Structure 1
């Protein structure tokens, strides 16, 4: 299945970004990992696939539980770093919905914030269901909409500077999109044929510094980074100045940022009876 314009844009956005991602956004995205693994039933001996592994935080946590872990990411730079960070996992390059695994190969599949980055979410879920054994569980996190105040900070700075989303950054096609709500995600999982579907919000405060939080966009990480970097030095500095002003409302007495974030944690079971152990 050929990639969509959204998929192609995502490949360009994340190319070579692992180091900058790890320094900022990577730590943020690691927060829900324990609950993600719980939702997938990850335990000792379980065969686990971690899709969109990034820096390998979910893969490392699954290995620590004694699971047998395979991890994939579409970005080679991420794969190299995850392979070094998680020597107990088999780490490969693969992009949804193309997964090079046989039907029912895994007891559980997890995807930590990967569904936000695929052009065909329904096809991605079909691929995850295919490689999960009957009775196995799939668990996913994704960002909720509307965004929590801390998550919206960088976007507010861009808007305050009068910058709009560039045309070279395509949005998800309307026919592929879905509501980033508990009901919308449950509907997506049910449409994919999963049973026992559930979706709950996960909220936390991310503690960082203004310098660390700005470093990601300044380095071009994620969509927000591509927006910032595409504007040139003068406009990027204007965005940064608005960021500094807006960040004051999240700054504690020690000068650190306390940024409220909210995600959705969804899970479901692949229909059919199957074994429960390794």
Structure 2
């Protein structure tokens, strides 16, 4: 769902994910300054978190599983070392970093507990790990897409990526903090970050229209008449959130958890 989509991702979905970057980095740094911190950004995407950390003087290493993301992140954040890697097999020795972050990455991995354990392995004792995920029940912005699909009569394909129930975790604050604690992190804390997403209506549509994310996979699976109804429902149901400049203002929320190695 992400292959070759770095530029489109950067102009669409990454804007939704960017809001949590400052809080994520603050949680990872703890009582330390970001300047000089050896930081690993896992699942960097187009480099939003890595770029912010680099601006604050961190010594940034960023990895992503998708090659076009790696290429774009390296261009956008020339001060970072950007490599291709897939959780949980991170290609670094133990205790390489002072901190590691994953911004909306644990949502997408096949084994969340193993992913946290892989991050823990490469962070030094006393270092910190911070992650964000989308919660369940879904916040308003994400729930809006379900309402659009349902109103248009869209059918969810049977082959959507699904996590093995035995490896899943509760997508609430208690579930996320338990995931980190289960990987051996101490002093685990969690919080909810709520904000109003502001994005051009056309940009928010163009991500799924390009096949990005689960929303994109669902949209791509529809026949032409259904896809047209989805677009019509999108326009109708986003209208109450749309300002005169075409920018949407939609409430959303994320979960942030952090712990010490």
TM over 0.5: yes
Residue 80 of structure 1 corresponds to which residue in structure 2?
71
- Measured after TM superposition, the shift of residue 244 of structure 1 is 1.1
Q: Which residue of 1 aligns with 2:115?
A: 124
Provide the C-alpha distance between the structure 2 equivalents of 1:255 and 1:118, rounded to a whole number of angstroms. 34
Structure 1: tracts of 5 or more residues without a match: 1-12, 271-278
Whether 1:33 and 2:24 are equivalent positions in the alignment is no
Aligned match of 1:154:
145
1:23 aligns with 2:14: no
Q: CA deviation at 1:253?
A: 4.6
The aligned residue for residue 234 of structure 2 is 243
Alignment partner of 1:14 is 2:5: no
Per-residue CA deviation, residues 212-240 of structure 1 (Å, 9 max, x unaligned), is 11111111111101110121332211111
Q: What does residue 35 of structure 2 align with?
A: 44
* 1:198-220 deviations in Å (ceiling 9; x for gaps): 11000111112221111111111
* Structure 2 equivalent of residue 187 of structure 1: 178
Task: Could you tell me which runs of 5 or more consecutive residues in structure 2 were left unpaired when the two chains were aligned.
Answer: none
Tell me the residue number matched to 1:107. Answer: 98
CA RMSD of aligned residues (A): 1.1
- For 2:147 and 2:85, locate their aligned partners in 1 and report how far apart those are by CA, in whole Å: 34
Q: Deviations over 1:22-66 (max 9, x none)?
A: 111111111110110000006111111000000101111111111
Q: How many aligned residue pairs are there? A: 258
CA distance in 2, matches of 1:88, 1:152: 37
TM-score normalised by structure 1 residue count:
0.90
Q: Which moved more, 1:245-254 or 1:196-205?
A: 245-254
TM-score, normalization by structure 2: 0.96
- How far apart are the structure 1 equivalents of 2:204 and 2:38? 35
Alpha-carbon distance between aligned partners in 2 of 1:232 and 1:94, rounded to the nearest angstrom? 35
* Structure 2 Cα separation of the partners of residues 85 and 254 of structure 1: 28
Q: Equivalents in 2 of 1:150, 1:28: separation in Å?
A: 10
Q: Which residue of 1 aligns with 2:222?
A: 231
SS at match of 1:116: coil
Q: Secondary structure at the match of 2:19?
A: coil
Post-superposition offset of 1:243: 1.0
Output the CA distance in 1 between the equivalents of 2:156 and 2:163.
13
